[in-house]
Amino acid sequence: MSVHVQNSRMTTSKLRQMKASGEKIAMLTSYDFTLASLVDEAGIDMLLVGDSASNIVCGNLYTLPITVDEMIFLTKGVVRAAQHALVVCDMPFGSYQISEEEAVRNAIKIMKESGCDAVKLEGGEEILPAIRHMIQAGVPVMGHLGLTPQSVNQFGGYGLRAKDDAEAEKLLHDAKLLDEAGCFSIVLEKIPAALAARVTKAVSCPVIGIGAGNGCDGQVLVLQDMLGMNQGFKPKFLRRFAALASEIKNAVGNYIDAVKNSSFPSEEESY
Ligand code: KIV
């Protein structure tokens, strides 16, 4: 195991320097203080409090139900844990689509109340006015294109996006617009690797991929998925770096046995 020791806080300008020098950017999701502390200590560059918390933390089928206040609650713990990583909080469904004013108000509320460094939101040209207003207001914004789970009901599922030329060209156009508007980074989710590499070369900001091949400036995965805690989720892009589901179940099984057979607590574990 390697731990990447860093002595100073990550910033959006350091991320740009990493893109320029070809140093890859490592990002993971986190939703709580304990795990975020470990991930931060291991040297991660960015922590994303994703709205995937709706699935991972709350057990919902979709990301749609999670609210601004729930995202703030989770993000506070991650911010307290982050000594090095830049913390990004997802803006949940409905918090930035209604009007530019509401988008800016919610982005500022999230930043003030959670203490996060930046927000992420899904979409391209259609949400550009909101993104421009947020950036003008001083909110660092990360874009998110390709598979955008908040639009699952429009897409009709979680399949590969931008397979045809028209959708690929729209995605490239959207990425350029987000870059020109001043997004500090863009996530590309579940699109062909060749397209992701093309987008990465075409924009000045760092591009972070998930299911978007190796040509991006960095990668992001959902922590519980890459730790092997989520046994049912097996997309092609997911590499499991641990098998914690079986580790946890074994540990809990051993605890149950020890309680049932009265071997826990021992004398040494008693006062
Ligand atoms: O919510 C999330 O976890 C995300 C990542 C998959 C990029 O948006």
Condensed to tens digits (0 to 9), the pLDDT of residues 49-97 reads 999 999 999 999 999 999 999 999 999 999 999 999 999 999 999 999 9
For the chain, give percent helix, strand, coil, nearest 5: 45, 15, 40
- What atom of ligand 1 comes closest to residue 122's alpha carbon? 8
Measured in Å, residue 2 CA sits from the centre of ligand 1 at 24
* Token pair for 12: 């959006």
Q: How would residue 3 be classed by pLDDT, with cut points 50, 70 and 90? A: confident
* H helix count then E strand count, the chain: 11, 8
Ligand 1 centre from 138 Cα, in Å?
Answer: 23
Ligand 1 atom nearest to CA at 27: 7
CA dihedral 51, 57, 62, 64 (to 10 degrees): -50
- Predicted local confidence at residue 1, as pLDDT: 61
In degrees and rounded to multiples of 5, residue 143 shows phi and psi of -85, 170
Atom of ligand 1 nearest to the CA of 56: 3
Residue of 39, 147, 220 best suited for mutating to test ligand 1, as the one with most atoms within 8 Å of CB: 220
Q: Would you tell me how many other CB atoms lie within 10 Å of the CB of residue 121? A: 27
Q: Is 222 in the pocket of ligand 1 (CB under 6 A)?
A: yes
**Is it the case that residue 168 has pLDDT exceeding 80?**
yes
**Which of the four pLDDT bands, split at 50, 70 and 90, describes residue 125?**
very high
State the catalytic residue, choosing from 189, 247, 267, 268. Answer: 189
The pTM for the full model equals 0.96
pLDDT band at 44 (very low <50, low <70, confident <90, very high): very high
For ligand 1, whether the C-beta of 212 sits within 6 Å is no
Average pLDDT over residues 104-131: 98
User: What pLDDT, on the 0 to 100 scale, is given for residue 6?
Assistant: 58
Helix axes 100-114, 68-81, angle to 10 degrees: 40
- Dihedral Cα 26, 31, 34, 40, nearest 10 deg: 20
Cα of 56 from ligand 1 centre, angstroms: 11
If you average pLDDT over residues 17-21, what whole number do you get? Answer: 98
List the structure tokens of 257.
């046995």
- Residue of 25, 48, 207 with the most ligand 1 atoms within 8 Å of its CB, for mutation: 48
Q: What integer best gives the mean pLDDT of the chain?
A: 97
Cα-to-centroid distance, 50 and ligand 1 (Å): 5
C-alpha span between 12 and 140 (Å, rounded)? 8
Q: Which residues contact 54 (CB under 8 A, 6 or more apart)?
A: 60, 62, 63, 64, 65, 66, 92
Among 151, 203, 156, 141, CA closest to 177 = 203
Closest CA relative to residue 85, chosen from 26, 16, 23, 24: 26
Question: Any catalytic annotation for residue 269?
Answer: no
Task: Decide: 123 and 101 in contact? Cβ < 8 Å.
Answer: no
Q: How many CB atoms lie within 10 A of CB 242?
A: 12
- Give the residue, by CA position, lying nearest to ligand 1 atom 2: 50
Q: Which amino acid is at 26?
A: A
